[in-house]
């Protein structure tokens, strides 16, 4: 008994950490298959012992929400679904009832509320009880009606998703391999939970309804199908479903399985619900699961094979990713021979060594992964030199995850990826310098530093004679470089590739230092941390970058080739000098909170995330709200003002 209880505590800790990484931090520290296996083991032990510890993953619906988005308690708790991997068990669950079988979509669950025919609120699932308010972002979902003909109160649930096609397009625009999103779900979660709704709008998020919660006064003839048909008439896209009985359900499951490989919407299984609404409601619910629906997860096809070797792939930031290469096997109708292992921590968890017998599968029938290592010979032969440049490597532990890095600042992989970032759209935007072209130019010795890209005329004859080039291509490239040489300081800073410094961070740093590049180079970590949005990790990366003499030389050479657009420093209007603002809740007069923050900073003020005794004003359109920020402001005597009040304060209303 003691051993079982100890094992339960171990499993609870491991699963909770994995859930936190997946749901909150959008990173994976174990495969879905491994998570399900450990979860089922914990569930079985709880049943055997009759003991359930507080905080057990089997009793929690999700992970606690941690973000700056406003939070709100759901009127009706959002429960997880019980699940099975057995088609026969699904058939038995349905019994003599008629059911609806639909896709189990893999995105971010959202609850929508409509009042008087207009979208009034959108809240994420969160932990099932408390979610995040994302109303401005939901209004940018490409297929979502923000106004409907029905004027009663409507509450429905659905999945925010990004299709595989859009996912691939967005990833193609990211030059750094290690910065690319791992899967559509992570991208969707990050897109929907943005503080800037403009970013959500750019990512083509769709909403697909899967459940109607409330529509008072409507008669749906006791049928879930009728609910779906009614929602479609209002303009909502609903999850695709098929009607099934115990005689047809197995064929329906097989048809869904046949289609998933080419299905455009990410899916990790199916959902079976009773069509009879009253019957489903009469069954009630458990502490975690409703009894009117059940999830079906694909019983992943697995094949046993031999691990041939680990291939190590270098990236711009120096991260070297391990990829398992194994003897080819047939999985879900295709031949696979490679699977990403992501990092050394996962390798060590699998005790993965060359020659091991492993089982592999396709996660959600799509992405090849290692399910289990049968022989576990142990991790060995981690390269001491970079596979690209031969420079020394080192293992670094970040957020409890061990990864391999190349320490050579002149690594060719870093150069190609670094130059690709420099010429990308949000940086210098030199059209025509693709990664492939950069690779050719670097190999030919045309490019050693950033400023070489503005002197390609030195190599005209060689470039014109290159395969795929000609006089016209050369002229277009030279013209693009000339155009790019007139830029902005934030674009340049972003293009330098300082670890973690994106375009938004670069803008904040430039604004803080009034676009004084010399002051920015000499800044210490303490001063950088005083900038809203810049933490210790980013500040440390910045300071380290400018401590390198070589980096400063490269920048000096580059500056002689660039001219900068004049940037407003805010000196003309310092109305809010010395004032500190906190913004909370949704905004109405601005596109988003970032736009309001930018206006505050342009007039000399500062916007922070927490209410303290130093806060001058809390901006919240719901002045009577009982939110934690409102309560704190009242305790400290900080004035709470609306957007309109703020505009009056600065003389713009």
Q: Which residues are catalytic?
A: 104
Q: Are 148 and 157 in contact (CB under 8 A)?
A: no
Q: Is 253 helix (H, G, I), strand (E, B) or coil?
A: helix
Residue 73, beta-bridge partner list: 130
Strand-strand pairing, 563-564 and 130-132: unpaired
3-state secondary structure of 111: strand
Residue 254 phi/psi, 5-degree rounding, is -65, -40
- What CA–CA distance (Å, rounded) separates 354 from 356? 6
Strands 393-398, 401-406: pairing kind: antiparallel
Which residue from 104, 114, 141, 138 is spatially nearest to 124, judged by alpha carbons? 138
Decide the pairing of beta strands 580-583 and 563-564: unpaired
The size of the chain, in residues, is 653
Quick one: 316 exposed, middle or buried, by C-beta within 10 A (0-12, 13-18, 19+)? Answer: buried
Burial class (CB in 10 A: 0-12, 13-18, 19+), 375: middle
Which residue from 549, 527, 550 is spatially nearest to 540, judged by alpha carbons?
527
Identify the three-state secondary structure at position 163: coil
Alpha-carbon distance of 382 to 402, in angstroms, equals 12
3-state secondary structure 460-482: HHHHHCCCCCCHHHHHHHHHHHH
CA–CA separation, 257 and 254 (whole Å): 5
Q: Which residues contact 180 (CB under 8 A, 6 or more apart)?
A: 171, 174
Beta bridge partners of 158: 110, 209
The span from the CA of 328 to the CA of 630, in Å, is 60
Distance CA 166, CA 420 (A): 22
d(CA 144, CA 93): 34
Cβ-contact 130, 123 below 8 angstroms: no
Q: Token pair of 15, please?
A: 């699963």
Alpha carbon of 451 to those of 134, 175, 321, 436, 557: distances in Å? 43, 19, 30, 19, 6
Residues 555-560: contacts with CB under 8 Å, at least 24 apart: 555/496, 555/521, 557/449, 557/450, 557/451, 558/449, 558/450, 558/451, 558/492, 559/517, 560/451
E strands of 222-292, at which residues?
241-244, 267-274
Rounded to the nearest 5 degrees, what angle is found at the Cα of 55, between the Cα atoms of 52 and 60?
A: 95
């Amino acid at each position: 008994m003691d051993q079982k209880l100890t094992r339960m505590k171990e499993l609870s800790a491991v699963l909770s950490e994995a859930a936190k990484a997946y749901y909150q931090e959008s990173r994976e520290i174990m495969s879905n298959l491994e998570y399900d296996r450990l979860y089922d083991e914990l569930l079985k032990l709880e049943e055997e012992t009759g003991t359930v510890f507080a905080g057990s993953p089997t009793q929690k619906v999700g992970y606690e929400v941690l973000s700056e988005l406003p939070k709100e308690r759901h009127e009706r708790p959002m429960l997880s679904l019980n699940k099975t991997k057995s088609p026969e068990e699904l058939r038995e669950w349905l019994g003599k009832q008629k059911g609806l079988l639909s896709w189990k979509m893999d995105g971010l669950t959202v609850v929508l509320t409509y009042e008087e025919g207009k979208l009034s609120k959108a809240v994420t699932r969160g932990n099932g009880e408390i979610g995040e308010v994302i109303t401005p972002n939901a209004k940018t979902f490409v297929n979502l009606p923000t106004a409907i003909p029905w004027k009663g109160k409507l509450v429905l649930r659905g999945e925010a998703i990004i299709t595989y096609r859009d996912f691939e397009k967005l990833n193609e625009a990211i030059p750094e391999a290690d910065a690319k999103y791992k899967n559509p779900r992570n991208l969707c979660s990050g897109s929907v939970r943005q503080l800037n709704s403009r970013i959500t709008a750019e990512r083509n998020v769709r909403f697909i309804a899967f459940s109607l919660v409330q529509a008072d006064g409507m008669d749906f003839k006791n049928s879930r199908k009728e609910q779906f048909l009614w929602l479609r008439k209002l303009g909502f896209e609903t999850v695709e479903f098929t009607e099934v009985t115990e005689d047809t359900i197995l064929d329906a499951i097989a048809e869904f399985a046949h289609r998933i490989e080419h299905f455009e919407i990410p899916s990790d299984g199916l959902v079976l619900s009773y069509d009879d609404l009253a019957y489903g409601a009469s069954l009630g619910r458990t502490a975690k699961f409703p009894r009117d629906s059940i999830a079906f997860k694909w019983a992943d096809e697995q094949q046993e094979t031999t691990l041939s070797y680990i291939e190590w792939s270098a990236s711009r930031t120096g991260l070297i990713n391990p990829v398992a290469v194994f003897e080819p096997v047939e999985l879900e109708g295709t031949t696979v021979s490679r699977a990403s292992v992501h990092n050394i921590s996962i390798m060590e968890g699998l005790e993965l060594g060359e020659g091991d017998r492993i089982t592999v599968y396709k996660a959600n029938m799509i992405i090849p992964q290692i399910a289990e290592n049968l022989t576990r010979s142990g991790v060995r032969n981690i390269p001491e030199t970079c596979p690209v440049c031969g420079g020394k490597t080192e293992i670094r532990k970040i957020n409890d995850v061990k990864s391999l890095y190349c320490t050579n600042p002149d690594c060719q992989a870093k150069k190609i990826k670094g130059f690709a970032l420099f010429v990308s759209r949000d940086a210098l935007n030199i059209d025509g310098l693709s990664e492939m072209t950069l690779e050719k130019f670097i190999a030919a010795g045309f490019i050693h530093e950033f400023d070489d890209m503005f002197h390609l005329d030195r190599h005209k004859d060689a470039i014109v004679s290159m395969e795929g080039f000609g006089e016209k291509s050369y002229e277009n490239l030279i013209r693009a470089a000339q155009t790019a040489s007139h830029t902005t300081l934030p674009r340049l800073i972003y293009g330098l590739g300082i670890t973690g410094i994106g375009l938004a961070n670069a803008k904040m740093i430039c604004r803080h230092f009034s676009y004084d590049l010399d002051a920015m180079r000499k800044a210490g970590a303490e001063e950088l941390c005083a900038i809203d949005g810049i933490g210790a990790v980013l500040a440390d990366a910045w300071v380290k970058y400018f401590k390198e003499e070589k980096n400063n030389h490269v920048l000096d050479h580059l500056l002689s080739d660039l001219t900068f657009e004049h940037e407003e420093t805010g000196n003309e209007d310092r109305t809010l000098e010395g004032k500190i603002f906190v913004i909370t809740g949704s905004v109405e007069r601005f596109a988003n909170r970032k736009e309001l923050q930018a206006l505050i900073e342009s007039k000399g003020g500062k916007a922070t995330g927490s209410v303290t005794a130093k806060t001058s004003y809390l901006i919240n359109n719901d002045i009577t709200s009982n939110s934690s920020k409102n309560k704190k402001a009242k305790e400290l005597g900080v004035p709470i003002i609306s957007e309109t009040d703020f505009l009056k304060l600065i003389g713009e209303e």
